[in-house]
């Protein structure tokens, strides 16, 4: 079904019926840019979430996990701030996250357990609650049905562009819309990956089905990207379904089609994070096949995708396949090097097989270098005859990445 789905880049979290959003500035960012985003539904939502697997969890992650468990079918809003992660901030940080819920609920006439909160930015600094309180009031006042783009701007940190989109899918009872926004450019690695994302839909779907769909969609999207190998303290992807389309997702066929649409949107948003990664000049699709299991293939692909030597070779347009194979060999997955085949590809170029049956081919170096010089590159590594397959979307590692992160707190 995916080929029938069209991503609408003009869409946002307010594209589905009954959703409103805003993005305002309250002084968290010294440059005066938007720094607080609010997404509101005009009806209670079934909610789903996936969160960081980092043992060091930010206060808003802890609060959202509690809120989701307590009120999975009555969520109304998501409040997000940038510039301050509210992570490693102790009891005070938890109090501030819960106070943010309370203040946002008060401004909207809701209960605190109907509000999710998300934060992104510098770790280890207490939230300037005087500024955030002002931002909460301003964000509530600025809500509109076309505020999704402003919200996507407000959640940015080192992102260079806002990232949002929508799509529609035809189910047996009619059309439903999904919209989403995401931020992320650095500290990007699976478990889940590092970003904040809000996905909205006007579909009428049971909460347990929505959670299952998000869990499944997350695997090949948000949990299949890596920029620098660092998993964040704040990773959160939330999905809200308010049912305002009146179209139910209750048959097996509709559930499958809805999952396909959610997966398609999640993959687009996840890939947008990699394309806007800190200092990124290359988008690389790394696929490993022939493993015993999908998990083994994914483990190898992740190891290659996070190798500094591989990533710097991408940055230099150097088809150094030896680094790729060496990274695969230390991934902790057993395979026979004599069965390996390695191919590089890019649009407009004939694929180049650099390694066949564990032996270098007679390919022309300039042909491979021309592929590695492209902005979008595909690398395919086969390690045997197994059915396991895994794909990771990654990037190069440039001097700009180092520069950005060398003075991130300043």
Q: Which of 323, 329, 297, 328 is nearest to 310 (CA)?
A: 323
Sheet hosting strand 352-356, strand order edge to edge: 225-226, 388-395, 283-291, 376-382, 341-345, 352-356, 359-360
Between 90-108 and 129-141, two packed helices, what is the crossing angle to 10 degrees? 20
Question: What is the 8-class DSSP label of residue 251?
Answer: S
The string of pLDDT tens digits covering residues 57-92 is 899 999 999 999 999 999 999 999 999 999 999 999
User: What is the arithmetic mean of pLDDT over 148-153?
Assistant: 98
More confident residue, 314 or 191: 314
Q: Known catalytic residue: 287?
A: no
The domains located in the chain, with CATH, are 2-275 (3.60.70.12), 283-406 (3.10.20.340)
The string of pLDDT tens digits covering residues 163-178 is 999 999 999 999 999 9
Question: What is the 8-class DSSP label of residue 289?
Answer: E
Whether the per-residue pLDDT at 232 is higher than 80: the answer is no
78: CB partners within 8 A, 6+ apart = 37, 38, 39, 115, 116, 117, 118, 198, 238, 240
Of the candidates 194, 231, 287, 398, the residue annotated as catalytic is 194
Residue located via tokens 């007679």: 362
Model confidence at 406, pLDDT cuts 50, 70, 90, reads low
The encoded tokens of residue 170 equal: 């035809």
The string of pLDDT tens digits covering residues 36-64 is 999 999 999 999 999 988 888 899 999 99
CA 307 to CA 309: how far, in whole Å? 5
Lowest mean pLDDT among 22-31, 147-156, 399-408: 399-408
CB 97 within 8 A of CB 63: yes
Residue 187's φ and ψ, nearest 5 degrees, are 55, 55
Res 401: pLDDT = 67
Share of the chain above pLDDT 90, in %: 82
């Amino acid at each position: 079904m995916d080929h029938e789905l069209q991503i609408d880049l003009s869409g946002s979290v307010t594209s589905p019926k009954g959703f409103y959003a805003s993005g305002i500035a309250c002084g968290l960012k010294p440059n005066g840019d938007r720094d607080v985003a609010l997404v509101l539904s005009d009806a209670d939502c079934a909610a789903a979430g996936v969160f960081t697997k980092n043992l060091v969890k930010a206060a808003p992650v802890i609060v959202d996990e509690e809120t989701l468990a307590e009120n999975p079918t009555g969520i109304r809003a998501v409040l997000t701030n940038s510039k301050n992660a509210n992570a490693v901030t102790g009891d005070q940080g938890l109090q501030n996250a819960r106070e943010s819920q309370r203040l946002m609920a008060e401004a909207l006439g809701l209960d605190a357990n109907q509000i999710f909160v998300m934060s992104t930015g510098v770790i280890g600094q207490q939230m300037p609650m005087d500024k955030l309180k002002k931002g909460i009031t301003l964000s509530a006042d600025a809500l509109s049905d076309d505020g999704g783009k402003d919200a996507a701007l407000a959640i940015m940190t080192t992102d260079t562009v806002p990232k949002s989109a929508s799509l529609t899918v035809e189910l047996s009872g009619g059309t439903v819309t999904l919209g989403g926004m995401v931020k992320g450019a650095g500290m990007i690695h699976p478990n889940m990956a590092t970003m904040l994302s809000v996905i909205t839909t006007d579909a009428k779907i049971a909460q347990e089905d929505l959670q299952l769909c998000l869990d499944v969609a997350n695997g090949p999207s948000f949990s299949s990207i890596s920029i620098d190998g660092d998993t964040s303290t704040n990773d959160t992807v939330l999905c809200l379904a308010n049912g305002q389309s009146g179209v139910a997702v209750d048959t097996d066929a509709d559930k499958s089609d809805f999952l396909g649409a959610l997966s398609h949107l999640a993959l687009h948003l996840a890939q947008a994070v990699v394309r806007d990664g800190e200092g990124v000049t290359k988008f690389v699709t790394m696929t490993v096949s022939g493993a015993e299991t999908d998990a083994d293939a994914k483990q190898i692909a992740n190891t290659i995708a996070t190798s500094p030597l591989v990533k710097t070779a991408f940055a230099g347009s150097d088809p150094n396949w030896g680094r790729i194979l060496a990274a695969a060999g230390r991934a902790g997955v057993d395979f026979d090097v004599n069965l390996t085949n390695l191919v590089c590809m890019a649009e407009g170029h004939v694929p180049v097989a650099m390694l066949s049956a564990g032996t270098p081919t007679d390919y022309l170096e300039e042909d491979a270098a021309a592929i590695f010089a492209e902005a979008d590159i595909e690398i395919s590594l086969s390690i045997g005859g197994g059915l396991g397959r895994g794909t990771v979307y990654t990037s190069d590692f440039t001097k700009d990445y180092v520069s950005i992160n060398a003075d991130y707190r300043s």
